[in-house]
Structures are given as C-alpha cells and as structure tokens.
Amino acid sequence: MSVEVPRRIVLLRHAKADWPEVSDHDRPLAERGRKDAPLAGRWLAGAGVTPELTLCSTAVRTRETWKLCAPELPRRPKTSYDERLYDATLGELIAVVNGVDEEVRDLMLVGHNPGMHALADALAGTAEGDTLARMNTRGFPTSAVAVLSLTGSWKTVEHGVAHLAAFWTPHD
C-alpha cells in the first residue's frame, strides 16, 4: 500500500466498571457501563466508522465493553485481545500502533485511561472545530470515543500527525 493511504484510529475507553473485591484486571462492567457500551457502538455505526481491526485490552471491563459495542456495528471487525493495552503508557500505545499491519486502514483500540486520552491528545496535531478543546475540558470519560484521521504508514505515527475528526461521550 502507498504510504499516503488515508487511515483512521478510533480510540474507545472501556465503559463504566464496577469495584468488586477482585484484581483491577478482573473488574467487570457496572450496570451503567452495560448500558453505555452499546451506545458507543451505535454512535460509531451512525458516524460511518467501522474499523477493520480492533485491538482490545485483555482486562475484563474492556472485553465486556467491546462485546457490547461490536454487535451495533454494520460488520464486526477482526478482533485481537492484546495484553500490551492494559495499563499502557503513551509510548507503549504508540509502539502498538506502529506495529499494525500496513494493509489495515481503520484501526480501533479499546483501552483505559490515562492512555486513551493521552494518545488522542498527543496524536491530534489539528482538530475539527472545538473538538480538541471539548475533549480536554471533559477529559476522556468511560465509553468515550475519539476518531483521528491521518495519512501515511502506521510505522510513522507519532505526536501531532493526526486530525481529531470527532469526539463523543455517552452524555453528548
């Protein structure tokens, strides 16, 4: 593929999780999370965003979020559960993106904060209207979605290369 191929990165923070007495990795979704996760999928479908590949953290709450979100999409993308996304730093998330197969044009990451917010903020060199300001004012709440567009190779994704095309939360 040409390095000038248009690409999208969709970032989805897991839905609201419960706090039972289990390890952080094993925390399930709360009732609100089970309601919000399908809303994120419906928003993505309505916005015409259907990723080809989804990389999802191995944490219970991210897997449950994805399992409730994915059926709302017009077609289910290939999904890989990736332990590197759990508790990942900004640098680790960029490294994951840099390793994506060049054939993939639309990528989704289902992960956690502060990583999802940090990645969206770092990659967004430009933004649609007040989208970046709204994201940074609101933070990146549970079930939030950021859609970033860029051209080039996944291997060259770094700070400032993308355009923040959309930011959505269940409260929008």
> Using one digit for the tens of pLDDT, what is the confidence trace for 127-140?
999 999 999 999 99
- The number of domains in the chain is 1
- pTM for the whole thing? 0.96
Question: Residue 163 belongs to what H/E stretch?
Answer: strand 162-168
pLDDT value at 2 more than 60: no
CB 140 within 8 A of CB 90: no
The CATH number for 49's domain is 3.40.50.1240
In a domain, 157, yes or no: yes
Nearest to 108 by CA among 52, 165, 158, 69: 52
In a domain, 35, yes or no: yes
pLDDT for position 1: 42
> Using one digit for the tens of pLDDT, what is the confidence trace for 144-166?
999 999 999 999 999 999 999 99
- Which residue range(s) make up the domain with 100? 6-168
In a domain, 1, yes or no: no
Asked if omega into 114 is within 30° of 0 (cis), the reply is yes
